[in-house]
Amino acid sequence: MPELPEVEVVRAGLAPALAGATVLGVSVLDERALTRHTGDGAHFEAALTGRRITGAARRGKFLWFPLEDPAEDAPTEAIVAHLGMSGQILLRAPGAAPERHERVRLDIQHPDHGELSVVFADQRTFGSLALDPLVPTPDAEPGGIGTTDAAVPAQVSHIARDPLDPAFSDAGFRAALARKDSAIKRVLLDQTVVSGVGNIYADEALWAARIHPETTARLLPTRAVNRLLAEVRRVLEKALAEGGTSFDAQYVNVNGQAGYFAHSLNAYGRTGQPCPRCGRPIVRTSFTNRSSHFCPHCQRVPRHRG
């Protein structure tokens, strides 16, 4: 599933094309792409046609594209997008041939770039688009990356800020961990605590911070929490600089290009290979419906006092 860097690469690619663009028309080819939308395909098409998009924003793994409201000073609605496991949002020339697994197409007119097509393609149909109202952020800070409005889509309001968000609270993160009896990796994947960190980057950050994934979160000393948070940011920023992690053709940017952070992984997916730090083999263990990858020598099993 795409994680924060992959989704941010898409957002950054879409922003110049969407900000200030007017929706000329919408074609819903598969209503399974509208599972989070309250209406049907015809409603989605009618509700968006003629609307002006003001930008592209992101919180965690969610994207949204605010829509201008002539009666208000700030947008009150947005198109919300979640890529699910295999979703793609691609920019294409107007009238371009349909993409494989294309579900929805928006034809837009941009004052600088002219006409473009925005294509939502999704092989496994777990991704979605929806029209959603914007609600105020509890902390009165901008809703996420790419927006200055203190608002977030209602469907995204339960999602925590991500570590690259300027409004992310390090103190709040430390306080949340101090209340958690769960394993630290489970907490990192809890999108209500910290968003955008998925299985790949959790494994990478824990490896870099020398923390075993099963360490109880509340037992981590402040120094270790600070080190982990720094490594989470470092890993996400490095992946972002390299275009994200692509293991197959499903994870691409708006131009259909794959990221190459997979070549920089130290733990994830390297079962049996030597740890880049100590040379011992990386091991893989079951973790809920996924797997954890770590170095048992560098990331020692925690010894907790009873």
Query: 61, 103, 105, 161: which is the annotated catalytic residue?
Result: 61
- Was 82 annotated as part of a binding site? no
Residue 290: active-site member:
yes
List the structure tokens of 73: 């000073």
Ramachandran class of 226: left when φ > 0, alpha when ψ lies in -120 to 50, beta otherwise:
alpha
270 is in an annotated binding site: no
Pull the structure tokens for residue 156: 């995204």
Nearest to 58 by CA among 30, 40, 80, 91: 80
- Could you confirm whether 3 is annotated as catalytic? yes
Q: Is 280 annotated as a binding residue?
A: no
Structure tokens at 131: 């029209």
The residue annotated as part of the active site, out of 186, 276, 290, 296, is: 290
Cα 296 to Cα 183: distance, rounded to the nearest angstrom:
16
Tell me, yes or no, if 2 is annotated catalytic: yes
Contact assessment for residue 107 and residue 21, using Cβ atoms and an 8 Å cutoff: no
Question: What are the tokens at 220?
Answer: 């981590």
DSSP state, 282?
A: P
Active site residue 238: no
Long-range contacts from 12-17, C-beta under 8 angstroms, 24+ separation: 12/56, 13/91, 13/253, 13/254, 13/255, 14/56, 14/63, 14/65, 14/89, 14/91, 14/118, 14/254, 15/55, 15/56, 15/146, 16/113, 17/91, 17/108, 17/110, 17/113, 17/116, 17/118, 17/254
* Amino acid in position 72: E
What SS3 class is residue 263?
A: helix
CA–CA dist 47, 41 (Å, integer):
10
CA distance 164 to 201: 13
Binding-site residues, in ranges, read 101, 124, 180
Binding-site residues for DNA, in ranges, read 101, 124, 180
Q: Which residues are catalytic?
A: 2-3, 61, 290
